[in-house]
Amino acid sequence: MTVRVIPSGTKPAWHKEKIQDMDTNDKNRRKRQSMTLYVLLGLLLLALLRSFVFPSVINGSVRETSYSDFLSKVDSGEVTKVDLTTDSGEITYQTGEGPSAQLYRTTQFPNDSTLVTRLEEAGVDFSAHLPDESATLLVYLLINLLPLIIFLFGGWLLNRRLRKELGDDNSMSFGGGFGIGGGLGRSGAKEVRGEETGVTFRDVAGQDEAKESLQEIVGFLKNPDRYAEIGAKLPHGALLVGPPGTGKTLLAKAVAGEANVPFFSISGSEFVEMFVGRGAAKVRDLFKQANDKAPCIVFIDEIDAVGKRRDSSFTSNDEREQTLNQLLAEMDGFDNHKGIVVFAATNRPESLDPALTRPGRFDRRIPVELPDLAGREAILKLHANDVKMEAGIDFGVIARQTPGASGADLANMINEAALRAVRMGRNRVSQADILESVDVVIAGEKKKSTVLSEHEKEVVAYHETGHAIVAAVQDGKKPVSKITIVPRTGGALGFTMQTEEDEHYLTTREEYKQQIAVLCGGRAAEELIFGQMTSGAANDIERATKIARAMVTQLGMSERFGMMALGQSRNQYLGGDATLTCSEGTAQEIDAEVQRLVEEGHQTALETLRRNRFKLHEIAHYLQRKETITGEEFMRILTRDDGFAPRMPAAEE
């Protein structure tokens, strides 16, 4: 489908009449196909009922037996009653009395003149009768007509109910599903009118570039003549890519709200069904709904669920590939003059099929990245408008403490702050509430049930102080803003928070090495003071190793390999690691180089703490008493006399 919008006045009247005739003929054809399917299913059901169901109902518990067995039971006195149909020679006899009675059926042997004598000698009650024509006709009608009547009546009720619920007079057609199961092929897309979305560009912050790109689509939907005069064409589709929580769905809703057009929303996973063909039917129905409500916006969230790259592997999914093929066909051949815009969102753009992202389908790619410092502050202010706040809240401080946070994270922080204010019995949110909510989102709630022993508390205090002192000898771009040794539900027994003064987008090799040294500061403090290692540095070691490996394999910052890419990044928006693209021998050399970089940072941290050993003791004991201190308190203790060595060791200079 394309999203090119042409004013309806540019189409001649005969063209519209031709399209209407084609639609009418298509509806009639699908109705005929549906009725044919009903007849075939009815005949099949009738045959099954006659073969398995109704014979057992009519015949009840009468057992078939042989004539010789009948004579043996007569002679032994087991038979109590016999009934003979004279024209057919069918014999129905009974053995036993009361609850133990059992009926049998057999056919009289021709010219057997001794049967009456045997019955009289055995004292059996016997009789003969002609067949009842009315009963025969009733049985015939019961077997042949009743199943067909039940089937047709049930189908009529089901079709009537589906039409009422779906509001579609073609619910029986193939385009709507599988005949009597009408609705199986319904797309299930949620429709919201433009004004009912409740979202406009005023409700989106921190994504100025994305809003600017989407503003053209809004203008085209609201005033297509302006673009048609110059011959401009709208992009056929817009693909929103970015990390989770950055507002991709919100932007699509904002476009619908700004243009005041219907908004159809569906997830890509809803197209993939167990039965082959149903996903394609849902795609057809989705675009049919869009055609009926045009101009409108169709939004497919997580499109990678249905739009993954096709290949010839044995693990391919026929249903998903058929659904993707149908989606490609609909986007390519859809009648675009009505003003239908297709948006899609994904966190994995590299996994999409090239046929889906080529020009003519999703030919505009709009990055929706994590917000920068100004964007985070704008998002915080936007969400704070819905919450009662105290005067003088400094959102800039909070924005600087949350690098890498998405819009969803920031919204959650404001909500957590409001919840904390209610728990504390206040009717307005304070600065302290928001700062505490930052810790909750990053590290989790405080664990009141976890009580550390004095020795463990002392080890954690020295560990976090080691991080802070090593960070303090850096160039001042990321000063320490908070140190705490309160256990959190996220698994941390404490943490040291650094805050960037300004946003920057480039990181030097020396800055990466300083980050590794800061991460090694906790383990170095444990070794220096206690002469042992604990498990508390596990996350620090993991992060330091990840930085060092990226320096070697992706950033070309290794002295050993120089400017050479040795790895390839996967799933960049989902935090995926890089995979090595080198030989096994080179991989071993990479491990050795990564080990060297981490160990270099470890030695730098040890040397820094040795030069500031007295301050390490003083701040750790102070932190152990207070459990949480601010960056100002930390720097005041660190610099109040000559015991602080503010420069990096010579090995790092």
Catalytic residue list? 464
Is 526 in contact with 534 (CB distance < 8 Å)? yes
Rg (CA), the chain: 40
Instruction: Assign 13 to helix, strand or coil.
Output: helix
Tell me phi and psi for residue 352, to 5 degrees. -75, 150
Is 86 in contact with 128 (CB distance < 8 Å)? yes
Q: Which two tokens stand for residue 184?
A: 């199986």
Closest C-alpha among 592, 644, 580, 590 to residue 618:
644
Tell me phi and psi for residue 190, to 5 degrees. -85, 125
How far apart, in whole angstroms, are the C-alpha atoms of residue 112 and residue 440?
99
How far apart, in whole angstroms, are the C-alpha atoms of residue 13 and residue 69?
85
How far apart, in whole angstroms, are the C-alpha atoms of residue 608 and residue 596?
18
How far apart, in whole angstroms, are the C-alpha atoms of residue 165 and residue 186?
12
How far apart, in whole angstroms, are the C-alpha atoms of residue 644 and residue 635?
10
Detail the DSSP E strand segments found in 502-573.
Answer: 567-569
User: Is the bond into 295 cis (omega within 30 degrees of 0)?
Assistant: yes
Q: Which two tokens stand for residue 351?
A: 């996994």
How far apart, in whole angstroms, are the C-alpha atoms of residue 203 and residue 534?
48
Q: Is the dihedral of CA 548, 634, 493, 430 positive or negative?
A: negative
> How many CB atoms are closer than 10 A to CB 133?
8
Distance from chain centroid for Cα 647? 50
The DSSP secondary structure of 490-515, one letter per residue, reads: TS-S-EEEE--SS------HHHHHHH
Detail the DSSP E strand segments found in 178-301.
Answer: 190-192, 237-241, 263-267, 296-301
Q: Which two tokens stand for residue 97?
A: 């009395």
Q: Is the dihedral of CA 256, 262, 265, 271 positive or negative?
A: negative
